[in-house]
Amino acid sequence: MARVIVIANSKGGTGKSTITLNLYQYFIANGASCGILDTDLQQSITLLDTNYEKNIALVDPHTSPEALKDIDYEIVLVDTPPYRTGAGGFMSVADFVLIPVNPSPMDAMAIHSILADVQEAGVKHAVVLNRVAPKTSLTDEIRKTIEAFGCKVLQTQINNRVAYSRSLIYDDLDSEANAKASVELSSLANEVLRLML
């Protein structure tokens, strides 16, 4: 039975697809069998796969939420579109919903709708702060704001690094130049697994 991790946020541009693909590459590199279900009409991951011949294990887009659990992977990552209904059906079969949020007041406020969905579905979930800028107290303030909504915020923070965008093409997060990003991503993957399992 596959473990399903849904990456969702009703807001666009928060890093859902970037984190999905980086997590996928991490899991594969660490010996897990993993697939991605791309439910976004923008098809970011599907297009990357085609244009850069990446050979990503893409799950049949017609797979129903019920059938997803029976898929022959240890982990299925579901990338979702930036609106509320997009993740809808898949919330109900998710083992974990990861919500990337950029640490700004606007983005923090915008998580109410996705929080309502995960709370209604009764699924484990947490926010990961993404595109974090160095040395600003704003990040901690946003963390507290989100925690005050009753939502867990992962200890792991993903900084704003070109390495995460680059690795979508080159899958090179494990190179020496990207050591900091690699440590963050490993920390993210392991924190999600710990909370999910």
Ligand X SMILES: Nc1ncnc2c1ncn2[C@@H]1O[C@H](COP(=O)(O)OP(=O)(O)O)[C@@H](O)[C@H]1O
Rounded-to-integer distance, Cα 22 and Cα 19, Å: 5
Shortest separation between residue 109's beta carbon and ligand X, angstroms = 16
DSSP designation for 59: P
**Using CB distances below 5 to 8 A depending on partner kind, what does residue 190 bind out of ligand X, Mg ion, none?**
none
Beta strands 96-101 and 75-79 are unpaired
Question: 37: Cβ–Cβ under 8 A, 6 or more apart, which residues?
Answer: 58, 59, 61, 63, 68, 76, 77, 78, 79, 90
Q: Does 17 bind ligand X (CB under 6 A)?
A: yes
3, 125, 131, 143: residue in contact with ligand X (rule CB under 6 A): 131
| Per-residue contact flags (x/-) with ligand X for residues 37 to 76, judged by CB under 6 A | -------x--------------------------------
**Using CB distances below 5 to 8 A depending on partner kind, what does residue 161 bind out of Mg ion, ligand X, none?**
ligand X
Shortest separation between residue 18's beta carbon and Mg ion, angstroms = 8
Q: Is the dihedral of CA 97, 98, 100, 101 positive or negative?
A: positive
Q: Does 158 bind ligand X (CB under 6 A)?
A: yes
Query: 2 to each of 28, 57, 71, 75, 117, how far by Cα in Å?
Result: 15, 14, 6, 5, 22
The answer to whether 55 touches 49, Cβ cutoff 8 Å, is yes
Q: Does 164 bind ligand X (CB under 6 A)?
A: yes
Q: Footprint of Mg ion on this chain (CB under 5 A)?
A: 16-17, 44
Shortest separation between residue 77's beta carbon and Mg ion, angstroms = 12
Which backbone phi and psi does 154 adopt, to 5 degrees? -60, 145
Q: Does 84 bind ligand X (CB under 6 A)?
A: no
3 state DSSP class of 98: strand
- Please say which residue, 11 or 67, places its beta carbon nearer to ligand X: 11
Shortest separation between residue 72's beta carbon and ligand X, angstroms = 26
Residues that bind ligand X (CB under 6 A): 12-18, 44, 82, 130-131, 158, 160-161, 164-165
